Amino acid sequence: MLNYFYHKIPLLLKTILFCLLQLFVLSCAIYFLLEAFVHHYQLELYAPISMIGFLSQLDIRVIGMISGCLLAVTGLFYLDSNRFVKRVKGVMDDSLIERKLEDNFEHFGAKENYDSLVKNLASIFSLYKAFDNMKTARISLELDTSRTLLNNISEGVMFVDSHKVVSYVNHVAEQMLKLVPGEIIGKAIVRKITNEKLLESLDNAIEFEQKVIGKVIAIRNDEKLIMNVFPIKDKSAQIIRLMIIFKPI
């Protein structure tokens, strides 16, 4: 029940709930105080109001119950806030440990309050943003290098995904397959290439997860090419694309 309260109820709703509980307890306290005051005033209608006499009319049990409720609500709010800060700090620590950066950010655990929490989160987000920019720049450089290499080799190279949609083809492959430059990118290969042996080889490579080596196919004007198909898998061993290499005979 407490875990559900801590993790599932939105922060705004919890804050409103705590405020309503505080108002309810304070309203009860004011009501009992007014009731005791009216009762005392009615008994001493023409006598001066005595604070000692007024306090003697109060029920100690009621005062204790109201005070206990106030302390309970305040304590619950404190525990919830403290648990929130510790949970966020734990996530930050785990994130730093995962990236082996905990030795460089030892000061992150010095204080557990909202101010230090916000500053630490801002520092981590700034650091991770810099890492992402570096990673993006490195990937962009690697892609540019790969494209340059693929466009300057003697073999034709084509990449298709598991649905046989072409994601890349170099200039040599376009010339071998008699394609208009760029026309097949982003389209299903069957829309521009109807060679049955080629399409059958792709189906077999995807279905049986096996590479195809030395397949001879005939293109327009009876020109023949040697085709090799290599499945590429992700970390979960699922085929995500096929690399097709064409060589002239």
Amino acid letter, residue 56: S
| Domains of the chain, CATH where assigned | 2-133 (no CATH), 154-248 (3.30.450.20)
The CB density around residue 56, as the number of other CB atoms within 10 Å, is 10
**Cβ(108)–Cβ(90) below 8 Å:** no
Query: Which comes out higher in pLDDT, residue 4 or 9?
Result: 9
Choose among 179, 203, 201, 173: nearest CA to 191.
Answer: 179
Give the Cα separation of 226 and 215 in Å (integer). Answer: 5
Q: Which pLDDT belongs to residue 158?
A: 92
Q: Which pLDDT belongs to residue 208?
A: 87
Q: Is the pLDDT of residue 36 over 50?
A: yes
Give the Cα separation of 154 and 249 in Å (integer). Answer: 13
Q: Which pLDDT belongs to residue 1?
A: 46
Confidence (pTM): 0.48
Cβ neighbours for 9, distance < 8 A, ≥ 6 positions apart: 17
Q: Determine how β-strand 224-233 pairs with β-strand 239-248.
A: antiparallel
For the stretch 92-137, pLDDT in tens is 777 777 767 666 665 555 555 556 666 667 777 777 777 777 777 7
Selection from 34-38, 139-143, 182-186 with the highest mean pLDDT: 182-186
Q: Is the pLDDT of residue 46 over 90?
A: no
Q: Is the pLDDT of residue 4 over 90?
A: no
For the stretch 162-205, pLDDT in tens is 899 999 899 899 988 888 888 899 999 988 888 888 889 999 88
Q: Is the pLDDT of residue 42 over 80?
A: no
> pLDDT-based confidence at 57, cuts 50/70/90?
low
224-233 β-sheet, strand order: 166-169, 156-161, 239-248, 224-233, 212-218
For the stretch 209-232, pLDDT in tens is 888 899 898 887 678 899 999 999
Q: From residue 190, give the alpha-carbon distance in Å to each of 139, 166, 193, 194.
A: 30, 10, 5, 6
Q: Which pLDDT belongs to residue 227?
A: 92
For the stretch 59-104, pLDDT in tens is 566 666 667 777 777 777 777 777 777 777 777 777 777 767 666 6
Q: Which pLDDT belongs to residue 90?
A: 74
The pLDDT mean for the chain works out to 75
